[in-house]
């Protein structure tokens, strides 16, 4: 390898301790720039900024990832707000499941749809045999928020296993990535390379993953070392906040210190409350005097000397001693500080304050609705730009591979995914609004069904079946728009024969 090549790889895989140690990308800020942009100055007010020229992967090194994951998991285990935050995001992200329908050329394929339902709607799809596809989705969503990412591995199975489809899904935490795998492949700069356990082709395409044979923190005895798994058998799901980012960070990263500080603040307030509740006194005077009362037959005092105080304490004093009572510390500002902190935590996680804390005392219908609409927009963004393309898209590809392997024709076949239903906040006003939007042509029945978390074809098939059953029994309800208008009048005026009770 040439000297130039060695220098390239040493720069690529080195992790300088600070930006100041890295000569690449350092630029001197001119006086004009400092005057034009206050944020670019280097005065006392801006002295605490950590200005970094690193890319996302250099900032999110394996050591940083491991540290953040460990702290986030501790918070989820022991901090009620962290536990509630991860639950809220996961419940809205996947809820009771992002469901699917199998289509061929725009129409539901009954054969393949039934095959997929038999495999994914039951525990057949889980490598551990415990969850259906929707339970695996929930596990993956929680891992993405808590650990920053999740790995899903395709496990091929034999026909003798008796599964509807010859593969299963295994959900793994990002700890399985062997981050110690780094360096060029083939010893040349023109070849591929491995970075933090992920192997890339010369053009930067992911070729595979080096995964530990067991969780590095497992209590079980596992075979040491890591194994290479092709990228086509792995789904690496995470939220990429920066271009070229190859790993995800825990969603608790912006609020980790705030959660810790608030926990310490609560502990300090609890100690102050205990001290305030204790009726403390300090004794002064002659320590050699006899107690006011309480002697046994031998003339010894029956009262112990107290070196602590608790609520309701009564202490006997010796002759000549006096007692004074201090003013206990007050507990002020707790509610105000808690409110500000909880709002900051909610903002850092991207969830509404009332969802995080359960506090609805200052939420009106309008403010609650606005906050809910904003949160639902964030949830839809996470679903359609991260979870569905990365997680559900991998499931779709693997399903098509398995179906083709079993001899099915998969030309023109695709899966349509429908996020979970979002309950209406005010059905009395929202349902008429949806109806009016459909009747005025501003919305469609199919889109309204999708927004409720229903598959449009399934919904319309059920409607057609119900309508046919009503017609067969000669029943007409106000809910049937074919026969009754919105105000309860018949859609078509009765014929003369119908008015006379005759059958034409």
pLDDT digits (tens, 9 = 90+) for 122-159: 999 999 999 999 999 999 999 999 999 999 999 999 99
Spell out the SS3 assignment of 154-205.
EEECCHHHCCCCCEEEEEECHHHECCCCCEECCCCCCCCEEECCEEECCCCC
Residue 460: name the closest of 472, 446, 450 by CA: 446
User: What does the pLDDT look like over 296-346, one tens digit per residue?
Assistant: 556 565 555 555 556 656 566 666 667 666 666 666 778 888 999 999 999
Helix (H) or strand (E) holding 107: strand 107-108
User: What does the pLDDT look like over 450-492, one tens digit per residue?
Assistant: 888 787 878 888 888 988 888 888 888 877 777 777 666 666 6
- DSSP strand E in 218-368: where? 226-230, 234-238, 282-284, 322-324
* Residue 119 dihedral angles phi and psi, to the nearest 5°: -90, -45
Minimum mean pLDDT range among 13-17, 44-48, 267-271: 13-17
At 260, list the tokens.
């810790």
- Global pTM reads 0.78
pLDDT surpassing 60 at residue 26: no
Q: Rounded CA gap, 103 and 415, in Å?
A: 6
Average pLDDT, rounded, for the chain: 83
What letter does residue 121 receive in the DSSP assignment? S
Residue 73: name the closest of 153, 148, 177 by CA: 148
């Amino acid at each position: 390898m040439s000297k130039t090549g060695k220098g390239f790889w040493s720069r690529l895989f080195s992790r300088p301790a600070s930006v100041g140690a890295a000569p690449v990308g350092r630029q001197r800020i001119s006086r004009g720039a400092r005057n034009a942009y206050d944020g670019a100055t280097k005065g006392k007010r801006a002295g605490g900024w950590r200005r970094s020229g690193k890319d996302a992967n250099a900032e999110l090194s394996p050591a940083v990832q491991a540290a953040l994951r460990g702290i986030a998991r501790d918070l989820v285990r022991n901090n009620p707000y962290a536990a509630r935050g991860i639950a809220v995001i996961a419940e809205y992200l996947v809820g009771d499941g992002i469901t699917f329908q199998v289509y061929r050329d725009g129409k539901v394929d009954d054969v393949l749809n039934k095959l997929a339902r038999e495999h994914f709607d039951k525990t057949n799809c889980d490598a551990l045999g415990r969850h259906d596809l929707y339970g695996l989705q929930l596990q993956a969503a929680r891992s993405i928020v808590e650990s920053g990412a999740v790995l899903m591995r395709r496990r091929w199975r034999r026909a003798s296993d008796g599964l509807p489809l010859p593969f299963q899904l295994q959900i793994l935490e990002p700890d399985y990535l062997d981050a110690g795998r780094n360096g060029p492949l083939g010893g040349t700069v023109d070849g591929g390379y491995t970075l933090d356990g992920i192997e890339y082709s010369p053009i930067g395409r992911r070729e595979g993953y080096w995964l530990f044979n067991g969780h590095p923190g497992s209590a079980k005895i596992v075979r040491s070392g890591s194994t290479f798994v092709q990228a086509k058998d792995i789904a690496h799901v995470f939220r990429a906040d920066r271009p070229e980012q190859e790993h995800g960070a825990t969603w608790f990263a912006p609020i980790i210190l705030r959660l810790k500080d608030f926990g310490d603040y609560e502990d300090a307030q609890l100690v102050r409350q205990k001290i305030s509740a204790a009726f403390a006194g300090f004794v002064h005077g002659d320590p050699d005097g006899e107690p006011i009362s309480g002697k046994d037959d031998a003339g010894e005092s029956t009262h112990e000397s107290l070196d602590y105080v608790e609520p309701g304490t009564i202490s006997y004093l010796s002759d000549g001693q006096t007692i004074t009572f201090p003013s206990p510390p007050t507990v002020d500002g707790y509610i105000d500080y808690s409110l500000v902190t909880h709002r900051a935590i909610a903002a850092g996680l991207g969830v509404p304050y009332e969802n995080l804390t359960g506090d609805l005392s200052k939420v009106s219908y309008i403010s609650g609705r606005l906050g809910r609409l904003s949160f639902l927009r964030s949830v839809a963004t996470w679903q359609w730009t991260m979870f569905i393309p990365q997680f559900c898209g991998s499931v779709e590809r693997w399903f098509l591979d398995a179906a083709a392997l079993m001899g099915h024709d998969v030309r023109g076949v695709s899966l349509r995914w429908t996020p979970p239903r979002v309950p209406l906040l005010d059905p009395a006003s929202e349902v008429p609004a949806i109806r009016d939007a459909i009747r005025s042509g501003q919305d469609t029945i199919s889109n309204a069904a999708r927004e409720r978390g229903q598959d449009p074809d399934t919904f319309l098939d059920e409607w057609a079946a119900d309508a046919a059953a009503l017609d067969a029994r000669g029943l007409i309800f106000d809910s049937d728009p074919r026969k009754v208008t919105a105000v309860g009048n018949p859609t078509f005026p009765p014929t003369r024969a119908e008015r006379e009770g005759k059958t034409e």
